[in-house]
A and B are shown apart, each in its own frame.
Chain A
Amino acid sequence: MRTLYKFHGGVHPPSHKAQSTQAGIAQIPLPTRLVIPFQQHAGEAAKPIVQSGQHVLKGQLIGIPQGFISGAIHASTSGTIAAIDAQPVAHPSGLPDICATLIPDGKDEWVKRESANYTGLSPEELREKLRMAGVVGLGGAVFPSEVKLKLGQYKVKTLILNGAECEPYITCDDMLMRERAEEILSGAEMLRYILGAQEIVIGIEDNKSEAINAINQAVNITGIKCEVAVIPTIYPGGGVKQLIHVLTGLEVPSGKLPAEIGVQCFNVATVYSAWRAINHGEPLLSRIVTITGNVRYPQNYQVLIGTPVNEVVAAAEVLSGTLGYIMGGPMMGLRLPYDTVPLVKASNCIIAVSKKIFPVASPAMPCIRCTRCVEVCPVNLQPQDLYWFAKSREFGKAQSFSLFDCIECGACSYVCPSHIPLVQYYRFAKSEIKVRSQEKLNADKARERHEFREYRIEREKTEKAEKLAAKEKAVLEAKERAAKANESTAVQPEVNPVAEAALPKELT
């Protein structure tokens, strides 16, 4: 048995996971329209390589990754590209983003798939394949997996699989582990090979007994060495840094990456997708999404990337009284501006919201410094002080009180008896600081440019003046010379210049 460690704080919100785990993972009918954003991952957006009107096959590359941190984008089914333009997407800013609109032809016709045995490939080749398959972290951060597998100077000892799934309502990882445990383990073994790690540990919260059994069984069947660590159910126990701490006792240093302490962590769904990408040659075209909340059939669905939310929830039958949708969980999710936005690689859950499920929050009262937020903060911050600094725009102080170590898990807001939207204040402060530092950077650049311009003008001035002076001098000299020449032609000097030069010496 592995020694488990505890992180500071955490909360126990009602889980509401049972309703969406009554039935297995279901398929939804092919949507009438797919909207595939080119920015579905952390880093740079993919560059579109198809045109409007072009016919594409399922799995065909439509966006190539740009730069070091980026992901490939593929057509989720066969059909015709209707448009490549800005469409509303699920983003906190509410701003539209470049998407490919794909009208399916209904044939679901694949491109040629190349399945490979990973043992015959080098880690570099596997990484390149994963990059071109668009495999990114499916736990929510959508960080390109291939980048996390490129270690550079670091050595990874432990590969951690994140099966904690700590947020209420969400059960997509749970169901994936129940139904596709063997493929998860095969994928884990492949990633272990790429990383050169010594051990694999999977962390699963103790409220998922069926998933735990499934993984244990798969370990026995496949013979893959993987330790199944049953961890206590506590939010945010599935946060990367929290999970690593629970399983290893190590703390990922502030502002550093897990690889620097010899650990790398992948979500179980990511591992599964990586396995499908290599072993079946299937790029990341779909993911499992929990549809729950105010619906008749809360369940997990295998959904094509780009399916509009309204087409997905229709499969689960939305009940009356639904006021809107949340993408993600109730603790960190995002309220969707429109129900036509597409599901993306980051979408693990859609909750149909009604007044009954999420009652109207009471108006915020002043902070009474009761420090319940301090008690639950998993990073051991002082949320009440950060709130104060953010509110009074003392951003420097907020930074010195470790604002950027906040993981925005929302535990503080959850327990606040004054119902202060604390996380919103932190997001505000963070973005203000980022904007200001960018502005400062821009201002510095502008100042440098200005100063250089001043210098250049000054330099040109002096140069001009020098040239002018030189010219005048030359003219003057020429005049003098001309005058002298006139003189010399008029009066021939009798004396030898050399003798003349010697004269004064002799005189002295």
Chain B
Amino acid sequence: MSALFSPFISKPDNVAQIMLRVLLALIPGITVYVWYFGPAILVSIFLASITALGTEALMLKLRGRPITPFLKDNSALLTGWLLALSIPPLAPWWLVVVGTVFCIAIAKHLYGGLGNNIFNPAMIGFAVLIVSFPVPMTQWLTPHGLGQVELGFLDQLRYIFMGALPHNVTLDAITMATPLDTLKTHLHLDEHVHEILDMPIYGRLAGHGSEMVSWGFLIGGAYLLISRIISWHIPVAYLGTLFLTAGIFHLVEPDHYVTPFFHWFSGAAMIGAFFILTDPVSSPTTNKGRLIYAAMAAVITYLIRVFGSFPDGTAFATLLMNICVPLIVLYTQPRVFGKNTKQNEKGRLQ
């Protein structure tokens, strides 16, 4: 007999399948990534995956938890993939490994494992890396067709694992700052937005190549919405507020503030809106709470991007808003059926 107590039936679904569908939803973005920046990102994802699974198994063993069911739940893989996608593809192997170990061991298991982490584990890993190793964290690959030289896959592998470049190539020749970073640097030099955006690293809306990767994540995000894995509240509130905030600044001073579309398709905005802020464990459980959480995360993202010292703000915005989740949830409880109804306003108890 299946269960001792009712209900005796359940919808055929499980955590592993949900996580798997989220992984699948990342594939369009990853494909575009490979198209524009070469296969190095696949190496990072692979490294992060095996490190994540290994750390997960070790932590489960140390905590005396069953290993197989938790390894099969795909949640560690997802954390690994998200971290790999948020660090430069040409980053040395140990950077990926250190970051992933931190995500799984500290941010996930020390808080109690699956379902108990207060912070988004991938963003904790990212924050640790960008604070501890700022230099390799800002060496992003130049998109296909823009650099003076392009490394072949074998050369990329050699650099990732051994730190060695071909003798006539310098690191500067194959890497660059991100479009957001470049924008910030040039704005500090009092250049105008339209002059900066004329640079070859910029495409139609934002950075050349990276804007297309954002489109890939948008498509994957649409799949998550359609398959009802995530609700619309977080992505809509996040992108909406980011658009609104950036729009106001842009309208007031278009020479100094880029268009809202630039913000949408730059950095981690898209992957953040659909894949990171929507992490069910570390985000609010009420719909109203989700709107507040995502809207505030968007404002923080914008402030960090434009006025802060880091080029992108999605990760820190996520972590800052993670702290506020219990409070947001407490104050956004929906009305329970039969309580505080308009029809019995007189008999109101609470």
Interface centre among A252, A353, A355, A362 (most CB of B within 10 A): A362
A333–B18 alpha-carbon span in the complex (Å)? 29
**Which chain B residues in 267-282 approach chain A with CB under 8 Å?**
280-281
- B339: contacting residue among A168, A253, A332, CB under 8 A: A253
Q: Are A358 and B1 in contact (CB under 8 A)?
A: yes
- B15: contacting residue among A256, A365, A378, CB under 8 A: A365
Chain A, residues 237-278, CB within 8 Å of chain B (1/0): the string is: 000010001000011111010000100000000000000000
**Which stretch (B136-144, B160-168, B341-349) binds chain A?**
B341-349
**Which stretch (A297-305, A408-416, A465-473) binds chain B?**
A408-416
Chain A, residues 419-438, CB within 8 Å of chain B (1/0): the string is: 10101100100000000000
**Which chain A residues in 83-101 approach chain B with CB under 8 Å?**
none
A444–B119 alpha-carbon span in the complex (Å)? 45
Q: Are A363 and B69 in contact (CB under 8 A)?
A: yes
Known contacts A333-B6, A384-B285: A366-B113 contact under CB 8 Å: yes
Which residues of B lie under 8 Å from residue A401 when comparing CB positions? 333
Chain B, residues 48-69, CB within 8 Å of chain A (1/0): the string is: 0000000000000000000001
Q: Are B1 and A331 in contact (CB under 8 A)?
A: no
With CB as the reference atom, state the residue of chain B lying closest to A353: B1
**Which chain A residues in 342-401 approach chain B with CB under 8 Å?**
353, 355, 358-363, 365-371, 374, 378-382, 384-385, 401
A333–B9 alpha-carbon span in the complex (Å)? 11
Q: Are A252 and B6 in contact (CB under 8 A)?
A: no
Q: A417 at the A/B interface (Cβ < 8 Å)?
A: yes
Q: Are B8 and A326 in contact (CB under 8 A)?
A: yes
With CB as the reference atom, state the residue of chain A lying closest to B282: A369
- B1: contacting residue among A335, A366, A405, CB under 8 A: A335
**Which chain B residues in 189-237 approach chain A with CB under 8 Å?**
231
Which residues of A lie under 8 Å from residue B281 when comparing CB positions? 368-369
How far is the CB of B282 from the nearest CB of chain A, in Å?
9
Number of interface residues of B (CB under 8 A): 42
Which residues of A lie under 8 Å from residue B11 when comparing CB positions? 11, 13, 414-415, 417
Interface of A is mostly: loop
Interface centre among B10, B113, B335 (most CB of A within 10 A): B10
Q: Are B114 and A368 in contact (CB under 8 A)?
A: yes
Q: Are B339 and A361 in contact (CB under 8 A)?
A: no
Which residues of A lie under 8 Å from residue B7 when comparing CB positions? 330-332, 410, 413-414, 423
With CB as the reference atom, state the residue of chain A lying closest to B290: A371
**Which chain A residues in 68-106 approach chain B with CB under 8 Å?**
none
A382–B286 alpha-carbon span in the complex (Å)? 8
Interface of B is mostly: loop
Which residues of B lie under 8 Å from residue A421 when comparing CB positions? 3, 5
Which residues of B lie under 8 Å from residue A331 when comparing CB positions? 6-9
With CB as the reference atom, state the residue of chain A lying closest to B347: A253
A423–B7 alpha-carbon span in the complex (Å)? 8
Interface centre among B4, B231, B329, B333 (most CB of A within 10 A): B333
With CB as the reference atom, state the residue of chain B lying closest to A370: B280
Q: B331 at the A/B interface (Cβ < 8 Å)?
A: no
How far is the CB of A398 from the nearest CB of chain B, in Å?
13
The size bracket of the interface on A is 35 or more
Q: Are B343 and A361 in contact (CB under 8 A)?
A: no
Q: B134 at the A/B interface (Cβ < 8 Å)?
A: no
Q: Are B338 and A254 in contact (CB under 8 A)?
A: yes
A308–B347 alpha-carbon span in the complex (Å)? 47
Q: Are B285 and A417 in contact (CB under 8 A)?
A: no
Which residues of A lie under 8 Å from residue B116 when comparing CB positions? 366
Q: B185 at the A/B interface (Cβ < 8 Å)?
A: no
Q: A7 at the A/B interface (Cβ < 8 Å)?
A: yes
Q: Are B15 and A253 in contact (CB under 8 A)?
A: no
A421–B329 alpha-carbon span in the complex (Å)? 23
Q: B132 at the A/B interface (Cβ < 8 Å)?
A: no
With CB as the reference atom, state the residue of chain B lying closest to A412: B7
Interface centre among A13, A355, A368 (most CB of B within 10 A): A368
Which residues of B lie under 8 Å from residue A8 when comparing CB positions? 337
How far is the CB of A389 from the nearest CB of chain B, in Å?
13
Which residues of B lie under 8 Å from residue A367 when comparing CB positions? 115
A331–B5 alpha-carbon span in the complex (Å)? 9
Q: Are A332 and B6 in contact (CB under 8 A)?
A: yes
Q: Are B343 and A250 in contact (CB under 8 A)?
A: yes
Q: Are A402 and B113 in contact (CB under 8 A)?
A: no
7 chain-A/chain-B pairs, Cβ below 8 angstroms: A7-B337, A8-B337, A13-B9, A353-B1, A362-B14, A380-B336, A382-B285
Residues of B within 8 A of A (CB): 1-11, 13-15, 17-18, 69, 73, 75, 113-116, 231, 280-281, 283, 285-286, 329, 333-339, 341, 343-344, 347, 349
- The 5 A-B pairs at the shortest CB distance, nearest first, are namely A410-B7, A366-B115, A254-B338, A358-B2, A379-B337
Residues of A within 8 A of B (CB): 7-8, 11, 13, 168, 241, 245, 250-254, 256, 261, 323-324, 326, 328, 330-335, 353, 355, 358-363, 365-371, 374, 378-382, 384-385, 401-402, 405, 410, 413-419, 421, 423-424, 427
Known A-B contacts: A358-B8, A417-B14. Give 8 more (CB < 8 A).
A254-B338, A331-B6, A363-B69, A368-B15, A369-B285, A385-B329, A410-B6, A417-B13
